[in-house]
Structure 1
């Protein structure tokens, strides 16, 4: 289905911009009018592959963005604002074309079409999380959605605060470890091979086993240096592919939970 960009005004005269994925321009206009909006202009959106790729790279939705969205939605709905109006306001606060903007636009269209908020969010469970979506669905069924959203916002804010403290505490050790690794690689690939030629002038003098082993490793690293980027990227590729396998995820989580320090931090 093609996407259409539209400009419209609400009943208060405020300008509203967005996108709808419908079959024809006439369908978009009818949908806007059914939502209480006055259409001013509708244009089909041209596909731009490079823009889509850039949006996926730069438009990652962070946990802080989700917590802010949840807090604002809870506050608006507690104040008596209808869900559709609250979602429309939050959508218009986002940068036009950003990932969160597009998701909120689709959720808003689903809710205006009669779908529940939890059911619509199930399409984006990878963004919001299974527990989040299940809590929203349960809150809607029990009629306490505002309270559930408020509690979810508090939990997400506490989680983001804790993660920020952990990341802040890990910056210095990470810089030190990375610096040590860079120095080690430079020594093994560039410095030690020159010392090897110096030791070769000693003739038949036997070197200690540790020195011989160090030179062997240095020689191996100097010849196979091009494999290091692959070795660094390989774990990321394995984790990304394995994330689709529940058994792999279970074993991965068990492994991380058994780690001395990181395991205890992940349980907090």
Structure 2
């Protein structure tokens, strides 16, 4: 993609210069216009390779982690609270990240943000150009903090939220590690048994006229099938995974899958509690930052992570426009438990909705921890039982015919 050096004017008539990747001068003009800038001159840089390398370096590196975003958010909040100007704060954090190989991509992104701020954009608008790293919720919070003059406070709130989300994700991953390892081991063991062990054992029965039990016949048939068609089995498995992912990304598939998750024992409860915590925490932070309730609900809706619960938030938006309360619509949906709706109702009646939402988030954070612990405590023995049952079935199917042969004197 070409790199253009440009000169433009902002709404105040200030001359701003800079450089940016764009497909063409027309595309550059359109991009700048969306930011309230009016292109005056543009010249394509001769060092196209540099721009291409820059694009490749940014695109193909791993995604920036949430904890890294939380780190720079806290650093920026600390510097701003110490009355360090925004541009100097960004410069200091950028220099620090440049020396860290693990966070070099984030350093490059922050350098671009700093450049845009120097060109006259607000911090929120500069961050908005990097939606993969800074989502709509993050950008809206920063915009509110800039408008209210309490950006440092908003950034500290954002940091706490991001760290909490990272903690939840880390716990879920930790809880799923053991079951995933057990599933992998089970698949490997079954593969070895079906393709190597059982075919050798089958030869013991081939020279006899013994009628084999149905379970042994089933085991032998399964072994023959996997031995002869393992390639087709592998292709079928990959195709099934691809098809499932494709279906889950479709609007109807996504909605259906989210409904299945909410209806699944243990898993559904965990998904619901995480969503309630996210809804309450996000809404509380945004209201505290001065974001209007309807705008806050629209943003919170986009980060719910579940289409069914997202629809519930959408009905709340409509209800507020009609003069109804948040709690009444959440209760009517049947998706939010009474504890959450009662606490929110009390907050609405007392005029302390922000504080009560914070309490709801804290309460459900604790329930999320308990749900993860409960899920882990049940999955581990369940996986052991499943793996043991499979191995026991194979051993039983092989030993029983052999014992019958011995009893018959064969």
Q: How does the TM-score come out when normalised to structure 2?
A: 0.49
- Residue 167 (str. 1) matches residue 173 (str. 2): yes
Distance in 2, Cα, partners of 1:54 & 1:191: 48
Distance in 2, Cα, partners of 1:137 & 1:228: 52
Give the equivalent residue in structure 2 for 1:253: 258
Q: CA RMSD in A?
A: 3.5
When residues 238 and 59 of structure 1 are mapped into structure 2, their CA distance, relative to the original with a 3 A threshold, is: same
Give the equivalent residue in structure 2 for 1:83: 86
Distance in 2, Cα, partners of 1:240 & 1:104: 33
Residues 82-103 of structure 1, C-alpha deviations (whole Å, 9 max, x = no match): 2222222222222479321232
- C-alpha contact (below 8 Å) 1:3/1:45 kept by paired residues: no
- C-alpha contact (below 8 Å) 1:63/1:156 kept by paired residues: yes
Give the equivalent residue in structure 2 for 1:40: none
**SS of aligned partner of 1:101:** helix
When residues 57 and 22 of structure 1 are mapped into structure 2, their CA distance, relative to the original with a 3 A threshold, is: closer
- Residue 109 (str. 1) matches residue 115 (str. 2): yes
- After TM superposition, give the deviation of residue 153 of structure 1 in Å: 0.2
Distance in 1, Cα, partners of 2:267 & 2:4: 45
Unaligned runs of 5+ in 2: 6-17, 23-45, 275-367, 369-410
- For these two proteins, the number of residue pairs brought into alignment is 235
- After TM superposition, give the deviation of residue 258 of structure 1 in Å: 3.1
**SS of aligned partner of 1:107:** helix
Unaligned runs of 5+ in 1: 5-18, 24-42
Distance in 1, Cα, partners of 2:160 & 2:219: 54
- After TM superposition, give the deviation of residue 167 of structure 1 in Å: 2.6
- After TM superposition, give the deviation of residue 242 of structure 1 in Å: 6.3
Structure 2 matches for 1:144-159, cutoff 5 A? 144-159=150-165
- C-alpha contact (below 8 Å) 1:56/1:99 kept by paired residues: no
- After TM superposition, give the deviation of residue 235 of structure 1 in Å: 6.4
Residues 217-263 of structure 1, C-alpha deviations (whole Å, 9 max, x = no match): 22222223224554555566457656865554444433333333333
Give the equivalent residue in structure 1 for 2:217: 212
Selected match of 1:59 from 52, 62, 80: 62
Give the equivalent residue in structure 2 for 1:11: none
- After TM superposition, give the deviation of residue 116 of structure 1 in Å: 2.0
Selected match of 1:192 from 198, 206, 212: 198
Give the equivalent residue in structure 1 for 2:301: none
- After TM superposition, give the deviation of residue 195 of structure 1 in Å: 2.4
